[in-house]
Structure 1
Amino acid sequence: MLQKKGKWLQYEIEPTWEGIEVERILMEKMLISHRQIQKLTRMRGIVVNRRIAHLKMKLKAGDMLRVELFGREEYGVIPEEIPLDILYEDDDILVVNKAAGLSVHPNKPNQLHTLANGIAYYYQQQGIAAKVRHIHRLDKDTSGTLLLAKHAYAQAILDKDLRERKIHRQYYAVVHGRMEEEHGTYCFPIARDPRHGTRRMVSPNGETAITHYHCLATNGEYSLVECKLETGRTHQIRVHFRHAGHPLVGDGLYGGDPTLFPRQALHAFTIQFQHPMDGRQMQIDAPIPSDLQRLFVRLGLKE
């Protein structure tokens, strides 16, 4: 099993990898990129049994292969004290429940008042010298689960899993109208709207976007829908439901009624993924925020 020991990632060679070259083990077992291997070679950061290793060395069962991956880093943003709701944390990952109204990261130099600033402050207080690395994003006014990596190695693995659609995210949304089907899938490609700086639109020239949905409750005028993302395009749920004639309540950008709710009624309630270091299957849930719970009650919808 891969283990993180201080600044080192180490792996005791198992019999199935006996006779295999260091370079292949680094790439196939430890999932280190060719570019990173070149960097490690230059800095003499690849060691076998406490001796500098060369990439073509063939290893034996029981050999200890160590790679220097975990140095101290700058945060990348200005630390700022912002309350955090931490759902899960270990040496490698952090999952937080992002509040609505809070951007995930700065969009310009020295910007404050984002979740990233708050995480940098938390790291600072905990003595963690690591860059703030979010694996995916949530819109400013969307609440819920957000996954972050605490070091570049975990980020590389989780980024790969995200590209390969191995990270699963589910949302609650309140939309206008009664859904035509209780279950369904939207497969509308999404592109930038050339008439608007931030808006997206369904376009045949857009990127593939897939949203699965299940209607949980309806009062005829509004519906509570559970959504599962297969892809993660910007504003994907909001664009898909707008295109289907069911804009999200409160989502003025995409045709929802902003007088009924002060933000888009969207909450990322769970995320499922494989732990980047030990392979455990993880599921982290975020409680439904009080403003959304009140909306459910007001509209007669039950989660």
Structure 2
Amino acid sequence: MKQFKPFQLTYSAKEPGVLREALSGWGISKRTLASVKYSGGQILVNGNEVTVRHVLKKDDAVTVIFPNEELGEGLIAETGPLNIVYEDQALLIVDKPPLQNTIPSREHPSGSLANIVAMHFKENEIPATLHIATRLDRDTSGLVCIAKNRHIHHMLSMQQQGKTMVRRYDALVHGKFAEKKFKITEPIGRKDSSIIEREVREDGQFAETEVEVLQEFDTFSYVQLQLNTGRTHQIRVHLSHIGHPLLGDDLYGGKRDDIPRQALHCKSLELIHPVSGDELSFTSPLNKDMDEMIHVKR
């Protein structure tokens, strides 16, 4: 089997101290350390392999060599269109069309974004599995962020928790609004009668969505939303809760008279690159069906 060059990162010790503590400060999680230790990775200090108990000196060069990852056996690599917005050794940002699963499901076992990305990794000899940091529902179109290894995924998750990753969505929703800019802060949990549906409930997880009305039409509004948390179905549940469900979202009270899918699009994504520290910003144009509705109604 061909051996691919593993992903690695090098850090400089700013002060003396135990290596384990320095690694934690650089965002290396305990789970990642375990994979390095038991799955073929290495930790080097000034080119020499050491354990996490090693005592660092100021300016020591610490290199973490992460073990190569393999795609899960259940994920079949499939050929298909893939709209790549950005790619480097750590990240893959793609623009997902509507009516495509992010990952395979029982109802749609093939043709998902994950299936196609798996083929992209295979064809380009990228020794990685899929770590999808910003999953979208099947109906939702727009930007999806994928990490190429466990450590990068952890770093992106930390950004989401710290709100340094910003996702904005465009949506078409039923009705008009009294306020043009506001926040919805309501806890979300699973509905007792369903394994799929979520609802606003007192014992749910904290969830916050910012809403700005961009345009209003006779029966619907064009809004921009910013997720400050990442709960399942958050936008759909919050909008339905305040009486303005997404057009096409019949699971949460929307009607499909004008559009056959939930009218939701991940328009922009801002994040800090987990390796370089650079600020990255990406945008995606509205899908044709939503764009035509806005222009026809003007």
1:181 aligns with 2:213: no
Structure 2 equivalent of residue 190 of structure 1: 188
Compared CA separation, residues 239 and 39, structure 1 to 2 (3 A): closer
- Asked if the contact 1:106–1:114 (Cα under 8 Å) also holds between the matched residues in 2, the reply is yes
Structure 2 equivalent of residue 45 of structure 1: 42
- Asked if the contact 1:241–1:247 (Cα under 8 Å) also holds between the matched residues in 2, the reply is yes
Structure 1 equivalent of residue 30 of structure 2: 34
Q: Structure 2 matches for 1:107-186, cutoff 5 A?
A: 107=105, 111-186=109-184
Structure 2 equivalent of residue 13 of structure 1: 12
**Letter matched to residue 233 of structure 2:** H
Q: How far apart are the structure 1 equivalents of 2:35 and 2:234?
A: 37
Q: Write the deviation string for residues 180-235 of structure 1: whole angstroms up to 9, x where unpaired.
A: 10101111211212223322111112111111011011024211000001111111
Q: How far apart are the structure 2 equivalents of 1:39 and 1:131?
A: 14
- Asked if the contact 1:191–1:205 (Cα under 8 Å) also holds between the matched residues in 2, the reply is yes
Q: How far apart are the structure 1 equivalents of 2:178 and 2:218?
A: 11
Q: Write the deviation string for residues 227-276 of structure 1: whole angstroms up to 9, x where unpaired.
A: 00111111111111111111111111111111211111110000111111
- CA shift for structure 1 position 26: 1.4
Q: How far apart are the structure 2 equivalents of 1:232 and 1:8?
A: 28
**What is the RMSD computed on CA atoms of the aligned residues?**
2.2
Q: Structure 2 matches for 1:209-220, cutoff 5 A?
A: 209-220=207-218
Q: How far apart are the structure 2 equivalents of 1:119 and 1:160?
A: 24
**Letter matched to residue 159 of structure 1:** S
Secondary structure at 2:55 match in 1: coil
1:69 aligns with 2:66: yes
**Letter matched to residue 11 of structure 1:** T
Secondary structure at 2:17 match in 1: coil
Structure 1 equivalent of residue 98 of structure 2: 100
- Asked if the contact 2:29–2:151 (Cα under 8 Å) also holds between the matched residues in 1, the reply is no
- CA shift for structure 1 position 97: 0.6
Structure 2 equivalent of residue 23 of structure 1: 20
TM-score (norm 2): 0.91
The total of aligned residue pairs comes to 293
Q: How far apart are the structure 2 equivalents of 1:83 and 1:193?
A: 36
Structure 1 equivalent of residue 242 of structure 2: 244
- Asked if the contact 1:171–1:269 (Cα under 8 Å) also holds between the matched residues in 2, the reply is yes
- Asked if the contact 2:168–2:226 (Cα under 8 Å) also holds between the matched residues in 1, the reply is yes
- CA shift for structure 1 position 12: 4.9
Q: How far apart are the structure 1 equivalents of 2:17 and 2:104?
A: 44
Q: Structure 2 matches for 1:252-267, cutoff 5 A?
A: 252-267=250-265
Q: Write the deviation string for residues 138-184 of structure 1: whole angstroms up to 9, x where unpaired.
A: 11000001000011111111122223332111001111111110101
Compared CA separation, residues 148 and 52, structure 1 to 2 (3 A): same
Q: How far apart are the structure 1 equivalents of 2:140 and 2:165?
A: 18
TM-score (norm 1): 0.90
Structure 2 equivalent of residue 278 of structure 1: 276
- Asked if the contact 2:101–2:108 (Cα under 8 Å) also holds between the matched residues in 1, the reply is no
The farther-off stretch of 187-196 and 131-140 is 187-196
**Letter matched to residue 188 of structure 1:** E
Secondary structure at 1:156 match in 2: helix
Moved over 4 A (4+): 41-44
- Unmatched tracts of structure 1, length 5 or more: none
- Unmatched tracts of structure 2, length 5 or more: none
1:223 aligns with 2:221: yes
**Letter matched to residue 182 of structure 2:** G
- CA shift for structure 1 position 83: 0.5
